[in-house]
Amino acid sequence: MDCKETLKNLWMLLDGEIQDKDQHEILDHLAHCWHCTDVKDSEERLKSLIKQKLEYKKAVPSELINAISQIVYGK
Ligand SMILES: [Zn+2]
């Protein structure tokens, strides 16, 4: 698996929506590719940050939540 493929599957991996076989290939790639590991780490940080922020949901306007979700999840 190359960098392009790995990064394409990264979100699915972080969301736990990936097949065992693919997961193995991605982790294998991450083990020797600092670039993808770097991207994965920052995505993970971003995800936990968003999760933290969402816990304060009531204090945050829903338009902002939607805007962030759109940027992060592309939905
Ligand atoms: Zn890579």
pLDDT at 68 over 80: yes
Cβ atoms of 19 and 6 within 8 Å: the answer is no
pLDDT at 33: 96
Q: Which helix (H) or strand (E) holds 1?
A: none
Distances (CA, A) of 20 to 16, 24, 47, 57, 65: 10, 6, 22, 34, 32
CA of 18 to the centre of ligand 1 (A): 17
**3-state secondary structure (DSSP) of residue 60:** coil
CA of 51 to the centre of ligand 1 (A): 26
CA of 22 to the centre of ligand 1 (A): 14
Average pLDDT over residues 25-51: 92
Q: What is the pLDDT of residues 4-17, one digit of tens each?
A: 999 989 888 888 88
pLDDT at 19: 84
